[in-house]
A = this chain, B = another copy of it.
Amino acid sequence: MKGLWLQNRQLSFRTDLPEPQVEPGMALIRLRTAGICATDLEMLHGYYPFTGVPGHEFVGGVLAAPGAEGWVGKRVVGEINLTCVECEACRAGREHHCANRTVLGILGHDGVLAEYFTLPVRNLHAVPEGVEDELAVFTEPLAAALEIQEQVQVQPGMRVLVVGAGRLGMLIAQTLRLTSCDLKVVVRRQAPADLLARFGIAAVFADEVPENSADLVAEATGSPDGFALSRRAVRPAGTLALKSTFAGDVTLNLSSVVVDEITLVGSRCGPFAPALRLLESGLVDLRPLISARYDLADGLAAMEKAAEHGALKVLVTQD
């Protein structure tokens, strides 16, 4: 089959990939639309030593599901962690932290930037009829944005700062806007500020952010500068949610975290069902976040486009 292939940090388009086999409990899925995310790009720089088909944001059609034939023909999205069901984390309901997990297109399981791929049936969510592919493909990153509110109580009276107006920052901002909080997003250029204005969200530049001015900060840059700004902006006894991974270690004055009683919350994958409800409600406006669309055959060009400065969501489709 056709698809992208990552090996030794080299990405290629191949036509000789073996079609995945499907076992009981698993679903064979045909790609309809995929999204490219920062993690996919970071993997090219060795973020994870992954060999295989990259990609984990998708909408697909179920072709086969041995033992669960009711899924066949359904349009689905899917949770990206393939879990063991048996370890302590799984049994405690924290499947995202399964000790034995593989992760779709990231760790030990081929991803979605190919004609076909597989996922456990229990990972699937049917896409509501009214939600078209180009929006449904945002389910996974939208769930990651909602994870903040699974972890932190965002009160309407809070002053909230999102640091970073990229793919994920824009989704975080749109979900937080729904809480009626006093929301600002830190941008580095005018284009994202203009886009945020379309969503009714205030943009600020980094040098306009006062110290200790936010009750909650969501860091969505993954850069040491973004972290430093976030730490400066959060007020004593406030919360700093870390949404992006960082390349390398970050040096931190832990004493000031103690004295100021800051709470740092690492935040990763989120809940799919609420994300699908949010897509169905139309309360988020995602179409302006789509920067470009490519056919799967042009997957390499899609990845290049996604790596461009200022690119937001790049989609890869298959008829």
Contact = CB atoms under 8 A, between A and B. Distances in A.
Looking at A252, A266, A267, the one whose CB has the most chain B CB atoms below 10 A away is: A266
Interface residues of A, number: 37
Interface stretch (A54-62, A184-192, A254-262): A254-262
A97 interface: yes
B250 A252 contact: yes
A254 B258 contact: no
Interface string A237-271: 10000111111011111110111111111111000
A94 interface: yes
Contact of A266 (B227, B261, B267): B261
Contact of A151 (B151, B260, B263): B263
A258 B236 contact: no
Interface of A: 88-89, 94, 96-97, 99, 151, 212, 227, 235-237, 242-247, 249-255, 257-268
Nearest to A242: B258
Given A236-B89, A236-B94, A257 B249 contact: no
A144 B237 CA distance: 15
B251 A252 contact: yes
